[in-house]
Structure 1
């Protein structure tokens, strides 16, 4: 697809980040460049430094040139960040370059975390095959509010000198409406079932969440089935009957926790991608950030053994949501399935006695099937 003034190339910024982030992102980038060439996709890709190693080398978690690239990026392909390895980093530098600030800067509000089971990995998951068969769900995690952004927050001392930690869980109805409208529309294009998850029984913000989602359903999405569920019940049902779920809408905190827990269905966090999206801009494009759900895993960083499939599948999300090529995205997802069906395994998804591939070799296995 040739770029034009009406259809400019997609600006893709690649930030490997910390720990295993650069290793898995390198494989995702190999695959993305392959699909760009194969499907003639108009993309302009640049890689720039970001993370704790960058701070130690330059004094900046996100150097000025990376800040400038973020401002012009349509999509960011991100690796991982280690928010705990920041001893000595000034608070203002930590805040200015944090992942939370990056999400806010890009205007991201909807975090998609798809969970789909692969039959080839039935024995890897702790669940029985009959529980896993047919699991295909997607979390929509509201990303701009809740306890991660609420004020006041911090560690303070009371009048007696005791320390206490303060975090504030807060939502306004516009934030809830925006995320819910996106989730309803997504469910409408899938199996037509939305499960809205909250703690309306003990949290005022949860009670508001339920009221707002219910009203939006009545006004705009009566063709979609709406179920309300408490967060603890959802955690249980993800274990007992995961096939009941299609799209799960929930807040920032519960979305983080529940989607990570659902990784047990897939067999590993190393298999779960994510896409974080903004509202559409005037040109129709959404700004976006794509990253594996897993963290920086410093214990295995540099060993070449990390599973790159979550990063590769995040590149598939980029192809779908930013490059606008459902064909390329689906082809890449099929290639991952084919590699697994043919026995390609990294250490996190290998059974005892099975041959194990390193990070780059798993990237090779996916490319071979493309």
Structure 2
């Protein structure tokens, strides 16, 4: 068949074709496309369900893509973020329904404004409440509304201690471990404040009276004290038995340490260690950033078996189950890596783009 024969055949076909024929062909074609799309959608649903049921898949070879996970990782029900830890920006909650924006700018603060939020803002482990310090007392609010309760002692001679001694939540979210200062005598009293009713129960614990960077997980608490100017000591203590120990290699003339969490067995902490003078002098005392996992018995940093091409973690913290969550932030994406107790990578979950530039306050794990 030459070119003239082909042109003649096409012309005959065009004359024979009727609108109804063309319509029928289009309908049959659209039905085939619909069946293909339905099959692909079903396959994708099976794949997502399979990933959700089996947990996180390890990344193999050079393939950097992981299946999209619609909910926070590590068994978490939600993750709570704030735009700017030192300001009055928005807050966000990432859960199974996506990202919800909350507004923090209507909440009262004290005479030091954003510094008080930066140094004391905390989310309860169950994700239901916010707490922070101002000169008016310890503020407690349900997460997501303005129904605020101020917990304060009847004895007006005592004041809550903010700054590095900000209150820490108990693991069951029913109490806050807080330090009360009496300005006239320069004395301190440590105790538990009950969320329901605000009753104060003192604790006879001299070390905790002067504690900074207090973090609780299970029965264990990690904190730093400064017994005298220029000297610091870092401890872990069992709140149930009273057993405690100093973390070696973190004591002495080291003031560039910020604890971000402690493991539920008290054997590891996550912390920010500053190793240059410029950052030491300009960084705020509380950033919630962390770049080291530290063995509390040896004081040595533990390696992270996470293939990130040299990118260091932006935040580190332990879940109540003892898994380590490492948060990584790049210019165009951020993600959470979950690592087992022995440092093995269990999986990753990309964060929504809306929270990439925010600070993670709490990963809520039941």
Kindly indicate whether structure 1 or structure 2 has the higher relative contact order, using CA contacts under 8 Å at least 6 residues apart.
1
Do Structure 1 and Structure 2 share a fold, with TM-score over 0.5?
Answer: no
Bucket of the pairwise TM-score, normalised by the shorter protein: under 0.3
Please report the TM-score for the alignment, with normalisation by the length of structure 2: 0.26
Structure having the larger proportion of residues in helix: 1
Bigger Rg, which one: 2
Structure having the larger proportion of residues in strand: 2
